[in-house]
Amino acid sequence: MDITFHYPPELLSLLVDTIPLLCRSKKDTLLFLRGAGVSKAMTSDLEEIVRKKRDEITKYEIIRSVLTRLNERGEPALRERREVIKRGVEFDDFSGCWESDRLKAQGLVVQIQKLVDVKDSFTRMKDEREQERRVNIAKREAEIREIQQRQESLESLKGELFTLFGEVNPSVRGKKLEDVLNRLFKLSGIAVRQAFTVVGSQGEGIVEQIDGVVELDGQLYFVEMKWWKEPVGVPQIAQHMMRVFLRAEARAIVISASEYTTAAVSECRQALAQKVVTLCTMQELVMVLEKKADLANFLRRKVHSTIMDKSPFPTIVID
């Protein structure tokens, strides 16, 4: 029921008709109200009339006056209004009523119980709908904040990637590039294992240096990153291809700051008979960032085209 005007007309009318039947006298009626927590300030003038035994007021008028006052007070009188209803619907001992009023009182109490049940049901449904609406709004706001934070992070990564083009120290540039790309993969929802080494079991020391491994659609891709001034050729790719060929289910992604030689692309095309090898350029990743595209979807389209068209270096339009 509405919190600021708890008694709708039909319920107010029922309460006015019922409560006087539950009380034998005017004093009993006032006691009923005081028992419900109604303050003396609400009833003092009525008590004074009853005390002086004046006949110009009835039990019905007492109840109507007090309930109307409770309604007019709005939310501050919510507890009293609810207690009046509670005492009415839970009334079960009609022995104190006048004998001629008992059956009528019982019938009216049942009517109040039914009406309150209906009102409470509607209130619960309204509250549930309101709660659902609040949850949906909160969810939507959280989604919007997440999108905004992701866009801000992408902008930051784009700036970091651009600064690498001015870095002259290859070692520093390589480490920073690994970090930027790893964060880009994670931000795009791609599981990443960052750069790691493989140590030989016979005391050979480090036998492999792997830039990183990503998981896309349940497949593992060993990632190699190259930053050469000249186009990447067969020798620069061969070592990475060997790592992939020595692992049964592994696939390869190569990302280069420069283009690839025709021979390197041809070599990778031949390898497609046994392994999935996809070639990317840094320029493509920059375009993904520029257009705020989905990196995972871009790589997915790259791989699909590589497999379907037998092309290790397919051109993908970035929407």
- pLDDT by residue (tens digit) across 75-109? 888 888 888 888 888 888 888 889 899 899 899 98
pLDDT score, position 208: 46
Mean pLDDT of 141-150: 86
Question: In this structure, which topology does domain 170-309 adopt according to CATH?
Answer: Trna Endonuclease; Chain: A, domain 1 (3.40.1350)
User: In the β-sheet with 219-226, what is the strand arrangement from edge to edge?
Assistant: 191-199, 206-216, 219-226, 251-256, 277-281
Tell me how long the chain is: 319
Strand ranges inside 217-250, DSSP E = 219-226
Residue 205 has pLDDT above 50, yes or no: no
Q: How far apart are CA 191 and CA 133, in angstroms?
A: 34
Strand partners, 43: none
Give pTM, 2 decimals: 0.52
For residue 224, which amino acid is it?
Answer: E
Of residues 120 and 110, more confidence is placed in 110
Torsion angle (degrees, nearest 10) of CA 227, 229, 230, 236: -30
Q: How far apart are CA 160 and CA 266, in angstroms?
A: 33
Strand partners, 221: 214, 251
254 and 232 Cβ atoms separated by less than 8 Å: yes
Question: Residue with structure tokens 């709908």?
Answer: 129
Q: CATH 3.40.1350.10: which residues of the chain?
A: 170-309
For residue 221, which amino acid is it?
Answer: Y
**Rg value, the chain, Cα:** 40
pLDDT tens figures, 12-64: 888 999 999 999 999 999 999 999 899 988 899 998 888 887 667 899 999 99
